[in-house]
Structure 1
Amino acid sequence: MAIDVHRPTTVKPVLAVRVEGLTRCFDGRPVIDGLRLDVRPGEFVALLGRAGSGKSTLLRILAGLDRDIEGTVLVPRRKAVVVQEPRPMPWRRLWRTVLPGKSERAVAERVLEEVGLGHRTTAWSRTLSGGETRLAWLARALVDEPDLLLLDDPFGALDAPARATARRLLDELWRRRGCAVLLVTHDVEEAVLLADRVLVLEDGSIAHEQRVGLDRPRDVTGPRFTELRAGLLRRLGAPAA
């Protein structure tokens, strides 16, 4: 029997996310199998795993987009998700894309300024670059001040300079806003660069947990950073760079 409970926003929880005994099957095969997960308020958690390990499935469940589950899932009512390949709305001005169906243009402009798109407020969405589209959808996710931000490899298709810029921006936004973040990524360096804690998903459950414990901003050339990255790569079965 599935239990999917969303907390009222008036209650400040000890945990932003609590998952117990979560199972999700497809055609009788468990993709998520008895998973347990806790995320503290304001914590930044990165989730790694090989292709098909269930990372995106878990994110969809936490977002409330997949309810065909067994187990307990406790998440805040105020949550937002940014998917891998957000699609622009070409017939809308950018500020309207950020506030669909609403009229508070000043709110849209403030959030667009926050993600570095203040100069593109009145641009047609179809004119945005790939990087700008992803930042626009991040702005859309932040409009309602979420207590939990769910990110499904949102910068994976960007080139290296654009991805580095997006990472820095995400780190700044998280520290400024203080919401809990769960980031699904295929990039081990990105996980160590951004997260307080890195989890590895294997066979439908959390198989490894790594606390990062490095001061911010982080130096990707530092010996401890290099050690953490190499250890996670080995855990994923990939050669350390």
Structure 2
Amino acid sequence: MATDLHREVIPDTAVTVAGLTRAFDGRPVIDGLDLTLRAGEFTALLGRSGCGKSTLLRVLAGLDREIEGRVLVPERRAVAFQAPRLMPWKRVWRNVLLGLPGRPEREVAERALAEVGLEHRTDAWPKTLSGGEAQRASLARALVREPDLLLLDEPFGALDALTRIKAQQLVAELWQRRGCAVLLVTHDVDEALLLADRVLVMDEGRIAYDTEVGLERPRSVSDAGFAQLRERLLGELGVS
């Protein structure tokens, strides 16, 4: 397969994808997909299980290069997954610096941990963290890379309801403070509408629906227009 993954972007654009195809055993999971993400935009990606959402995110992260088509992405990008993927034998601050080039100082990790409200757990072992704390440590590890593109693959899926709300609020605050482009893969329609400027629905390997979320921030599920947007998105997902 031909791979065309370039770390460059068109001005004011965070991601440009043209004719992207990714097949497994001859079956295309992503099939001729076109997509543009604007710089500084928060985009949520919905879709049924198996539609290719996480595969697309892995391609944009540079973790899957067995592709056909054209993909333009920023050099500085970071990804956080549903599982925090912390190394149990490294303290939290060392996990935050994991994979960074050179020999970054501990203070770099401490600043990122403070930004996510985890400065008091700098020297903790990962096994002592709660689920919400572990996810915040994962976010700090992404933020320490100063990304122009932040990729989030269902990062709240394993959290309890209250912790999930707090984590959503944290991500919204970090995005507004940092100003980077964000692509959030989620199954939760309400989550997409609460957080995103724009919501995409993926189906059969392509973007089947694309809508702007014209609701003022901060948002609530009781806001005027929220229920109508939710109903439309559920319809696009095949849920009546």
Normalised-by-shorter TM-score class: over 0.9
The equivalent of 2:90 in structure 1 is 92
Match of 1:167, SS state, is: helix
Code of the residue aligned with 2:210 in structure 1: it is E
Superposition CA RMSD, Å: 1.3
The equivalent of 2:111 in structure 1 is 110
Q: Are 1:91 and 1:126, in contact at CA under 8 Å, matched by a contact in 2? A: no
The C-alpha deviation readout for 1:158-181, integer Å capped at 9, x for no partner, is 010000000000000000000000
The equivalent of 2:49 in structure 1 is 51
Distance 1:69 1:89 in 2: 30
Match of 1:206, SS state, is: strand
Alignment partner for residue 41 of structure 1, among 30, 36, 39? 39
> In structure 2, do the counterparts of structure 1 residues 176 and 68 end up closer, same or farther at CA, with 3 Å as the change threshold?
same
Match of 1:110, SS state, is: helix
Code of the residue aligned with 1:163 in structure 2: it is R
Match of 1:182, SS state, is: strand
Give ranges in structure 1 of 5+ residues lacking alignment. none
The equivalent of 2:206 in structure 1 is 205
The C-alpha deviation readout for 1:20-69, integer Å capped at 9, x for no partner, is 00011111111101100000110000000000000000000000111111
Q: Are 2:45 and 2:200, in contact at CA under 8 Å, matched by a contact in 1? A: yes
| Structure 1 residue 131 displacement after superposition | 1.2
Could you state the TM-score of these two structures normalised by the residue count of structure 2? 0.95
Distance 1:103 1:126 in 2: 24
Could you state the TM-score of these two structures normalised by the residue count of structure 1? 0.95
Code of the residue aligned with 2:92 in structure 1: it is L
The equivalent of 1:141 in structure 2 is 142
| Structure 1 residue 12 displacement after superposition | 7.4
The equivalent of 2:216 in structure 1 is 215
- Runs of 4+ off more than 2 Å: 11-14, 100-103
Code of the residue aligned with 1:119 in structure 2: it is H
Alignment partner for residue 65 of structure 1, among 58, 63, 66? 63
Distance 1:118 1:80 in 2: 21
Number of residue equivalences? 236
The equivalent of 2:123 in structure 1 is 122
Code of the residue aligned with 1:193 in structure 2: it is L
The equivalent of 1:151 in structure 2 is 152
Percent identity, please: 66
Distance 1:141 1:107 in 2: 12
The equivalent of 2:132 in structure 1 is 131
| Structure 1 residue 235 displacement after superposition | 1.2
Code of the residue aligned with 1:33 in structure 2: it is D
Q: Are 2:84 and 2:137, in contact at CA under 8 Å, matched by a contact in 1? A: no
Distance 2:194 2:46 in 1: 13
**Residues 107-116 or 93-102, more deviating:** 93-102
